[in-house]
Structure 1
Amino acid sequence: MKKIIIIMLTIMLAIVVSACSVDKSSTIEVKQSAKEMADQMVKKVQEPAQMELSAEELKDLYKIDPKKLEDFSIRVPMMNVKTNEIAILKVKDAKDVADVKAAAKQRAENVMKQFEHYLPDQYENAKNYRLITKGNYVLLVISDKADEIIKVYDSFFKQK
């Protein structure tokens, strides 16, 4: 009888523990497209003039296959004297999130190398890049106003 009670308690404990450890990132809901999010971010936090990258430019600069992404918006400086960059990447399949995040990190490192001996203030800006993952979303921000931009970005996400 004691063995049955111990087994039942163990099973109940396992159920409670597994229910509490559900990955909340899978319940993330965003209503805006990546472009709408980026538009609102740069509207609320002023950045130097930027241009939107195409899928082909995504492949060239980020080394990411656009087929891995459900949606994306990448803003880079219009002139090569600034490092400010915002990339919102919505990955189709959760198994590819780590690869996309690694590619975004490599992009940030490439920007740092590009400015290392060119413009010291922009090199410092690039060194302080921020890389954030929320569910299937990867965000790369290179900006002296990164905290403000991330605050706006966080406002797009709601837990179900």
Structure 2
Amino acid sequence: MKKKSVIALLLTVILGAMLSACSSGKEKAVEPSATPKEMVEQILKQIEQPPLLELDEKMAKEYYQKLDLALLEAYDIRTPSVNLMSDEIAILKVKDAKDVATVEAAVKQRALDVQKMFETYLPKPYENAKNYKLVVKGNYILFVISEKADEAVKAYDNFFATK
């Protein structure tokens, strides 16, 4: 009888330790202290890109037609200054977690729009646009079209490093 009690107690302790380890892993994820604009600027300092223009609200609505900017707490979107390139970077901070999927769908539509723009126009920017990256971390969304998209994702991930 004592063996069963000891084993049950031991299993309870092990299970409790495993559960607390799992939940503490989630607590370690940090929300970035930088704004989306600061994040984009830091990424662009690390990764050489062609000249990109920051979109104002009017241009953001024009380029991201399916995106309701009212769902965002903050954002920074940069597009090429020359229409011969498909490079683009955007970091969007969604106000409410329930709207992340809606914003993500709008960004995917933007990716398709960029692809359509280049599919019969220029092959290299078209291929670049087809290989876009979209990364969601909590209420933050990174969208990047770049030959160095993987490097941009790594730089973005650093903003969410665990403590």
Q: Normalising by the residue count of structure 2, what TM-score does the alignment of the two structures yield?
A: 0.82
Structure-2 residue corresponding to 1:77: 80
Structure-2 residue corresponding to 1:59: 61
Structure-2 residue corresponding to 1:94: 97
Structure-2 residue corresponding to 1:28: 30
Distance 1:137 1:25, change over 3 A: farther
SS of aligned partner of 1:82: coil
Structure-1 residue corresponding to 2:51: 49
Q: Partner letter of residue 75 of structure 1?
A: R
Q: Partner letter of residue 120 of structure 1?
A: P
Q: Distance in 2 between matches of 1:94 and 1:26?
A: 19
SS of aligned partner of 2:77: strand
Distance 1:66 1:121, change over 3 A: same
Alignment gaps of 5+ in structure 1: none
Aligned pair count? 152
Identity %: 51
Query: By how many angstroms is 1:158 displaced?
Result: 3.0
Is the 2:28–2:162 contact (alpha carbons within 8 Å) kept by the matching residues of 1? no
Alignment gaps of 5+ in structure 2: none
Q: Distance in 2 between matches of 1:91 and 1:26?
A: 21
Output the aligned Cα RMSD.
2.4
Distance 1:54 1:22, change over 3 A: farther
SS of aligned partner of 1:28: coil
